[in-house]
Each structure stands twice: as C-alpha cells, then as structure tokens.
Chain A
Amino acid sequence: MAFVQLIGRTFLNFLAAAGRLAIFALRALSHCVRPPFYFRNLGHQLVEIGYYSLPVVGLTAIFTGMVLALQSYTGFARFSGESTIPQVVVVSITRELGPVLAGLMVAGRVSSANAAEVGTMRVTEQIDALITLATDPFKYLIAPRIVAGIIALPMLVLVADTIGIFGGYLVGVYKLGFTAGTYLNNTLNFMQVMDVVSGLVKAAMFGFIITLMGCYHGYHSSGGAQGVGTATTNAVVSASILILASNYLITELFFAR
C-alpha cells in the first residue's frame, strides 16, 4: 500500500511541477511581447549567450565534423560507400548534430549561469528589491534572457553548421583523399534548405528551453548557497533532457512520413 502511495505522490508532484513550469513559461512569454522592453539587458544577454558561447560551440562543431567524416569513412568502406561522406556529414551536421550539440554545450554554460545569477538574486532579496522599485522581475530579468536565447541559438547553430562541415572537409580532403572541388560540390548539391531550416527551428526551441530552465530554477531557488547550487544542477539536467526530448518531437514534425 505504501508503495502505491509513493507512486501516486510522485506522480502528483510531477504534475504539480509541470503545471508550475507551464505557468512560469506562459508568464515569461507574455512579458516578452509586452512593453516595457529592456533593450540594454537584451543586448547584454545576446553577448553573454551568443558571443561568449562561440568558442565552445565552434570547437565542438569542428571536432564533431572531423570525427563524423572519419567514422563514416571506416564504416562506409565496408560496402564501398566512401563517396557519400560529404552528403552524410552535411545532413548529419545541419539536421541533428549542429543544433543538438550546440544546444547541449550552451545548456551547460548558459542554463547554469542563469540559474546561479537569478538564484543568487532571489536568496539575497535582490528580486524583492526589484519589485519594491516598481520593476517587474519577469520583464527586467527573465524576458531579455529568453528572447536572447531564442535569437542567439539559431545564429550559433549556423556557425556550428559551417564549422562542422568545414571539419568534415578537412578530414575528407587532407586525410581521405577527396579533391576539394568534389567534396564541396557534393556537399552543396546534396544540402537542402529544409535541412538547415529544421536545424534552426530546433535551435530556437533549444534557446527557449535553455534560458527558461535556467530562469525557472533560479527564480524558485531558496535556502542560500546550497539552494542556488541545487537550482544550477537542476537547470542543466532538465534543460539537457528537454533538449533531447524536444529534438525528437521537432524531427517527427519535420521529417516523419
């Protein structure tokens, strides 16, 4: 009986948490489209999320492209399919690996930073101070982060796509014996607009998830430094899981027959 109660209680707690998150997300989105807009904060967040994530996203993308070309070669050589490497790299990078890996890397960097910053503001009463100064914390703190996430992630993914394809090109041309012209020709001929667009839609969704989870866990943190630490961990874990889950749903939406 106690076991059934435990399952029931866990399920109800999950529903309550999902409800709280949904209300928080709707409230945050509503503040994204209603004035006043804090453009200075938005610009600051675009730099924090977009510009400062470039090195980690770029490095992830180039090594992923290089490994992808190398692995595809060793695998496809078993049935004489080596010539399809440029096509495999471009489709894999633009549809999946670019957005997902960039999303996961930015989740680690940005979700944690948002949760720590907003959480510290919560436990040190800075959010209460914002309210007493007639400034809505959703408009001032949360909306700029979410809008910046939705704008910055697609840009980062465009960069990741380019660098990832370049990584595959480097391995293809300098290690596997492709000529530069053939590799680029195959890449460009095979790449479709929908491949890139689907990746960018995913990226925008991931940007929303990353910033939302960081802000949500930070905003509801309590109990001092330990509470902020817990919020930071929860933000990264939940953002990563939601990225992978939503990736499947968006893929289903775009490509399922």
Chain B
Amino acid sequence: MSTTPKIRCADVHKAFGTNRVLRGLDLDVMPGESVVVIGGSGTGKSVLLKCILDIIHPDSGSIEIDGEQATALRGHERDAMLRRFGMLFQNAALFDSLPVWKNVAFALIEAENKPREEARALAEEKLAAVGLRQNVADLYPAELSGGMKKRVGLARAIATAPEIIFFDEPTTGLDPIMGDVINELILGCVSESAVTTLSITHDIASARKIGHRIAMLHEGEIIWAGSVAEMDATDNPYVQQFIHGSADGPIQMPVRRL
C-alpha cells in the first residue's frame, strides 16, 4: 500500500470574522481508507470538507491530494482535481430544475461531455445501484422523499466513479431504518470500487458502520483518532462523552439555565 496519504491536511486554519472554526487541523486519509470525522454541531466538520474541495479557502495550512497541493488551483487543473471527487451533501443539494436522471448524469454530460443517451443509461444504472426504480428517473427532486433524495445524491456522487467520496452527514434527518439503508449503500459502493472516503457525522451508529478509522474534531482540531474498537476502549473523556451522548463532561454547550 502507498505511504503517501490520499488526503493530507496539515495545520489548516479557517476563521469567519472572529469565529476561529479550524485551528491548526491535522488529518491524513490513506488510499482506500474510510475515515469518519465526528464532532458536535458547529465544530467545523462541513468547513473541513469545503476547505479540502477549495469551496472555502483556508486561511493558512496545507491540503494535499496524493502529495500535490490541492488549494489555489485554477482553471483546468482545478476541474481535473474536482473530477476525482464525489460528494453527498447533507440535504442532497439536488438541482431543483432538473429531473432525477439529469441530476445523476450532470457531471457525465457537462464535465465529461458524454452523449445524453449514454449518460441517461449510466444514470439509470447508478439509480438501480442505490435501490431506485427506473420510473424515478423522470421525477423532479421536489417529488421525492428525504430518503430518496439521499439515494439520488449518493447516485450522483458515485456516477463518475470518483477516487474520493465525501459524505456530509449521510444519515441526518432520516429514520433509523432508512439511515441504515444509506449506510449499507455507502458500504456497498465503497467496497465495490475501493474508493477513499471521508465522512462527517454525529451519528455514532453510522460512524461505527462505515468507518475504518474515526477522528474526533473539537474546537477546530482533531483531538483523537483511532479504529472503532479503539474508540470504544479509549479513556479520552471527550470521545467518551460524545459517543455516549452525555451532557456531563468536558464538552460544555453554551446553554443558559432557566
């Protein structure tokens, strides 16, 4: 196995005004590895993904993909870098104005210039892979349930067979059964194509299921990382508080008592 990380974040800082979201974050994701970043709401998990994709520019620090600087790329170089990624957004982020099949085939048509018939056939194949029937292809996102939107988002994320897939809160807002269905689909997609994945969630059940390695983000830094078994065994009070969902512990929520 290659020793060069697929993704390397080193000393990444990002602030919005006086709010310092990332404060020297370090994270390596090895090829073929599935890393899940856990952490409370507002700790900067989504900002981390957007910094890696350069949707948000980090203030300082280094982000490398296969050993090459990923930030500050422009034009064709940036497009080529982005084509290596797929992403499932928290609320799916499907294009309202396009039917389902065009959402899934978007990158195939617009970025890879595939003929429409071929792109539609591929889109229907991906929709079938996430358990959606062919008749869904012509519906619009507004006609879908939350679970179906997530599946379409997943189909779009894997449509171009990317090397790296990001999952942003893949099970948030879904009932436990649908959440597990999405986890199974993620596992299926990942194991079939041996892609590298980086997921962010605060759903511990989901993290246990889809992650080879878990990293905990707190106050803008990765404060702990290890396997699922190590997570259960660790005496790190932050990790213990988080996985048990306890209000008592070192992580204090700014709540004013009534």
Contacts and interface: CB of A to CB of B under 8 A. Distances in A.
B110 interface: yes
Contacts of A135: 106-107, 110-111
B192 interface: no
Interface in A106-135: 120-121, 124-126, 128-129, 131-135
Interface in B33-72: 50, 53, 55
Contacts of B80: 134
A129 B110 contact: no
Interface residues of B, number: 23
Nearest to A140: B110
A241 to B, nearest CB: 29
Contacts of B110: 38, 133, 135, 140
A37 to B, nearest CB: 12
A125 B91 contact: yes
B157 to A, nearest CB: 8
Interface residues of A, number: 15
B95 A129 contact: yes
A122 B152 CA distance: 20
Nearest to B87: A132
B83 interface: yes
A124 B93 contact: yes
A122 B85 CA distance: 20
A128 B93 contact: yes
Interface in B88-109: 89-91, 93-96, 106-107
B170 interface: no
B71 to A, nearest CB: 13
B82 A131 contact: yes
Contacts of B106: 133, 135
Contacts of A136: 79
A128 B47 CA distance: 12
Interface string A133-176: 11110001000000000000000000000000000000000000
Contact of B53 (A121, A131, A140): A131
Closest 8 pairs (CB-CB, A-B) = A125-B93, A129-B93, A134-B82, A134-B111, A133-B107, A132-B87, A134-B79, A134-B83
Given A132-B55, A133-B82, A135-B107, 8 more contacts: A125-B90, A126-B94, A126-B95, A129-B95, A132-B87, A133-B111, A134-B79, A134-B80
Interface of A: 38, 120-121, 124-126, 128-129, 131-136, 140
24 contacts: A38-B110, A120-B96, A121-B96, A125-B89, A126-B93, A126-B95, A128-B50, A128-B55, A128-B89, A129-B87, A129-B89, A129-B93, A129-B95, A131-B53, A131-B82, A132-B55, A132-B166, A133-B106, A134-B80, A134-B82, A134-B83, A134-B107, A135-B110, A135-B111
